[in-house]
Every structure is written in structure tokens, then in C-alpha cells.
Amino acid sequence: MDPDLNPSYSWEQRNQFFQDGYPGRTIESLTPSPCRPFPASVWAPPVNAAAQPYPSQWSVDSRAQRSVEQRLRDPQYRRPSYTSSFAPFEDEPIGLALPNDTDAAHLSRSLFTRAQNFQTGDLQFIEAQNVTLNSQSLVDGWKLLQDRTSPNALHDSDARYDPPRCDEDTRVEVINEITDWIKDRGGPLRLLCMTGAAGSGKSALQQTVAEQCGEGGILASAYFFSATDATRNTLTSVVPTIAYQLGRTSPPVKRFIKTAIEGDPLVFSKSLKAQMIALIVQPFRHLRNTGVDLRPLPHAVLIDGLDECMGEDRQSELLTAIKECLLADDLHFRIFIASRPEWAIRSALELGGKLREVAYHIQLSDQYDATGDMHRYLQRRFQNLSLQTGNSNWFTEEAIENLVRAASGQFIYVTTVYKYISERRASPAERLKMILAWTPQQGHSARPFEPLDILYTNILLAAKRAYEAVDTHYGQDFLLLFKIYYLNDYSPSPTSGCWVPGDFLATMLNLEHNNTARKVLVSDLHSLVTLEEIPRLSSSQPFTLLHLYHKSFSDFLVDKDRAKDLFVPKTRVYAHLAKCCMQHIIKCPLELDSCA
């Protein structure tokens, strides 16, 4: 038992115990606080103290009270904490002002009565009418989480004001397929991956689905990547933002998430998988272990624009973490991811890929014809412009059909055209005529397709950097090689005399043989082009040709005013081919046929 409280210890023994903790000091050296002196009997030892124990009428409580009052009232002996019943500790001030003896006695009795082997946080005493005991503020886990979320990534963020969304009677079929899948809680596949070409309307579909899920009370979280927004173009804020939204849907989940962060404030510096387990998986498992049924909770987790996350390896890491963590059998989530068909998600969904057996795949550009939806989109908006201008004859059905045809299934094309035509300080009729009569390479000062040009430029530059970063491609010009294959595959027909077989072209350009060179070259352009196989009449091996999803991309490639620094003139293509041919002849002068 603590000598400070044991009635069998004499005054001298107690004094010795005090000196052991505070060398050179004695209990008699303690002086009462100037603001509230104690009666002398409190400070002086009892008569014949050396021979007598504590007076029998002093109860343990009163001795404990006197001991703590002596230590706390003397500024020299104020302590921050105690690990046993008022034993002396480090000489550090804590600050104390007690209003009166009665309050002091009440405080000691109410807080420390018969206390043994306990520990408190740092204590701060403030002089007031009613004495208040405040513990030092702990880490606020929820505040830490909020600080690491990306508000711009939310589906209803102000940063995404007026986001793309589907009209009421457009994309009905694909929206129904997605929402039916989300609502089918018993479906065997709980991951939906939708891939589509650039500008095919993936983000508009995600936004529309997010809003519908929110209205239906089943939206658990949504995260919209953006390559141009530093707060949402990496994985740093993905798990915190998702966890924040999950916590807002359920107070018990919020408490578990908050507790997890307070238990490990450095969780945000851990791997993506570790964060996902600590802040999403374990809180829901704790909730389930309390007997709560997870099924009524919101369950739709939406992620848009995976391809706009920096780093292919990081995109792949996110897909792996989702598969290993959020698709666990004891969780209730159904996850919808939209992305261009770039390497990370494309390889994961291919035969033998990590998501092949667990994901439901919608190929937006291949499975759904958006022609009718784009026609309705333009018709409705052109009619609204007619009401605003008072002229209902400024457009024709033929004009709408020509625009839809030029879009080549690219929804971003018709939205771009409408934004240009609807400029409030210009005539819709004149702008419509300009677009319909538009041809490349005419030195236009107008920029009706600027949003498309920015999209194409960003994709081409990213592909160029990735291709030329490979050591075996040192010295190769990605844009020049792509233009060579484009002119060879896209312009003439393989049956014409101008087309060059891929294996011969690859050899002449000193690239990988057969179709490997073409596949490697476009591996980061699958949101703009695809490879098509055309049967040969004289061979079982088909032709493999580039196919551009959008006519507007072809226009971009041949228009110097639009492509700007990415433009490669035909004269440069022909000069490079001639140079390669001469090098090949010089290298193999006697075996030209075998070298070819």
C-alpha cells in the first residue's frame, strides 16, 4: 500500500518516503498557497510525531485529501499526472486555483477517494465558481480524416459545378442496366467496370447514376478523378474521401472510423490496401460484429475516371485493393468503376487478368449505339435556342443528322458543338453554318473544337511520354511513327497498291516485328483508336489495321492549326521512310530480299 495512505506508517516514515521522491525536501518544508492558507494543524506534524502513527480519527479519505491538497496548493509541487495514489512524481507544474477549502475537499473526495493504481491525462484546473476538470484535448480522428479528403472529388462538389449528365430521355438503356445491377444485391458479381472511348459519355453516366443513387438512399460514396486537379489526380485522397462519405451515412460507422484514426494517426501514410482495411473494412466488420445488419446501409461505391489517376501502376494498385478488400464476402458494397480502356483496367479485364472472373464489363463504345441519344440531345437544345431567339427556322433536321454523323458515337462532340453554337453573343445560325462547312487546313481563326483539341492533345502527349520513356525506344519519335502507321492503315485500303504490310513496315522502321510494333505503339491510345483484323484472301493471317473511333480525331491529326506542336506533316513522313529505306539498302546490299 502507498506509504502516503497507510495509517500504520509513522510521520518520520512518511517524511522519509517523501524525501526519497524529492531529495532535500521534507513535508514540513511545504508552504500553503498564499491565496488560501490552511490551518496550522494541516501543516504541522502531530505531537510526538516520531513515536506516534497518524491519529486514529484520521480516516484514509482525510489523509488522501490532505496529501493531495498539500501537493496541489504549493506551486512548487504541482504535478501533471499520477500513476498510483498520490505518490510524488516529476516536478512539473500543472496550474491550480481552488476557490475554497470546501470545494477542494469535495474535489478530492469526488475524484480521488480510495483511488489506487490509476492514471489520468494531463490535468488543467481553472479558477471559477464551479471547479472544472478538463483533460488535454486528444487527437480528433474525424478532423484528421476531413483534412485528407478531396471535396472536389464528390459528385455534388462546387468545383464540379454543372457537371456532364445525361438528359432525361437519353442513354436510357445503359443507365437502366447500370442501376439494375447496383440494386441487385444478390447478384454474383459485385464489381462493374465500364470502359469507353474518350468523350463517349462515361462521366455523364457516372454523374447521372450517382444522383439517382443519392435520391434513392443507396449511394455510399462517389469519387471523380481529374487529371487537371491536383487534389484528385492521385491515390492520396481516395480512401479518406470514401471513408468520409461512408461515415456520414452511418453514425456507428463514423465512430469506428474515428476510433481507428485516433488509435493510429499515421494510418494515412500507410499503403493503399492498409488504409482501406483500417478505415473501411474493419469499421464495417466491427459494426457487423455488434449484431447490426449491413444490408440496409447505402452500398453503391462509384469511381469515375480511373485513367486520370497519375501512374498506371497506381491505377492497378487501386484495382487490386478493391478486389482484395471491398469485394470480401462479408461486406455489402457494389462498386461501379468507369474508365477509358487504358492499360491498367484493360489488362485487368483481359483473359487471365485479376478482375476477369469478378467483374461485370460494359464496353460502352462497342455495346451501345448513342446515335439516337445524340440526335435527341441536339434537337431539344436547338429548339430551346429557337425559343430564345424567336427564330424556329435557323436549323434543319439534315443539319442535326450531319452533326451526329460527324460525332462518330462521341458524345463530347455534340456537347462541344452545342456549347459553341449557343454562345449568347453570337448568332446560332451563323455558327452552325461555320461548323457544317468546316474543313481542315484552312487557317481558321475560330476554335469551335477547342475542348476536343485539348482532350486529344493530353492523350497524345501522355502516350508520347510513356512510349519514349522505354529504353528500347530510345531515339524514336512517337508522333512520327504514329503518323506513319495512321497514313498507312487509315488512308488507303489494304487491297490497294499503296498499303504496306505491317511486318515489312516494322522491319523498315527498325521496330518490333510482326504486329507487335503496332500494338506497342497504340497501347496508350485505346481511348482513341483500336486495332481491327481484316481477313486476307491469300492467307490465313488477317490484316491488322488501326481504326480511329472518331472522325474528329482524324481531322485533328491533319490540321496544323488544331494539332499545333503535335502536327506531323506528310513531307516529314516521306522523308523518314526514304531515310530508313536507304539505311536498309546500305546495311544489306546483297541480301535485300532476305533483309526485307
What CATH number is associated with residue 200? 3.40.50.300
Residues 348 and 388 in one domain: no
**Are 200 and 410 contacting, i.e. CB atoms less than 8 angstroms apart?**
yes
Residues 158 and 268 in one domain: yes
Residues 278 and 290 in one domain: yes
Q: Is 387 a domain residue?
A: yes
Give the span between the Cα atoms of 77 and 93, in whole angstroms: 7
**Are 142 and 261 contacting, i.e. CB atoms less than 8 angstroms apart?**
yes
Q: What is the largest CA-CA distance in the chain?
A: 124
Q: Is 289 a domain residue?
A: yes
At 38 the pLDDT is 40
**Are 522 and 546 contacting, i.e. CB atoms less than 8 angstroms apart?**
yes
Residues 259 and 408 in one domain: no
Mean residue pLDDT of the chain comes to: 81
517, pLDDT greater than 90: no
Q: Is 203 a domain residue?
A: yes
At 422 the pLDDT is 93
Q: Is 305 a domain residue?
A: yes
Domain boundary among 314, 333, 367: 367
Pairing of strands 300-304, 543-548: unpaired
Domain boundary among 342, 367, 392: 367
**Tens digits of residue pLDDT in 417-466:** 999 999 988 999 999 999 998 876 556 667 889 999 999 999 999 999 99
* H or E stretch covering 220: strand 219-224
335 phi and psi angles, rounded to 5 deg:
-115, 130
Residues 256 and 290 in one domain: yes
Q: Is 336 a domain residue?
A: yes
Residues 318 and 293 in one domain: yes
Q: What percent of the chain has pLDDT over 70?
A: 72
208, pLDDT greater than 80: yes
Residues 315 and 183 in one domain: yes
**Tens digits of residue pLDDT in 139-158:** 899 999 999 999 999 999 99
**CA distances from residue 83 to 71, 79, 87, 515 in whole angstroms, order as listed:** 15, 11, 8, 75
Residues 292 and 400 in one domain: no
Q: How large is the average pLDDT for residues 260-273?
A: 97
Q: How many domains does the chain have?
A: 4
In terms of Cβ atoms closer than 10 Å to its own Cβ (0-12, 13-18, 19+), residue 346 is middle
At 149 the pLDDT is 98
> Model confidence at 586, in pLDDT bands (50, 70, 90)?
confident
Residues 162 and 119 in one domain: no
Q: Is 445 a domain residue?
A: no
At 447 the pLDDT is 83
229, pLDDT greater than 70: yes
Residues 343 and 431 in one domain: no
Residues 79 and 186 in one domain: no
Q: Is 446 a domain residue?
A: no
| Domain residue limits at 426 | 371-437
**Tens digits of residue pLDDT in 95-117:** 334 444 444 444 444 555 556 66
Q: Is 443 a domain residue?
A: no
Residues 293 and 349 in one domain: yes
At 86 the pLDDT is 37
What b/e string do you get for 574-584 counting C-beta neighbours within 10 Å, with b at 16 or more?
A: eebbeebeeeb
Give the span between the Cα atoms of 15 and 9, in whole angstroms: 10
At 115 the pLDDT is 61
Domain boundary among 106, 135, 164: 135
**Are 175 and 209 contacting, i.e. CB atoms less than 8 angstroms apart?**
yes
Question: What cell does 343 get?
Answer: 492499360
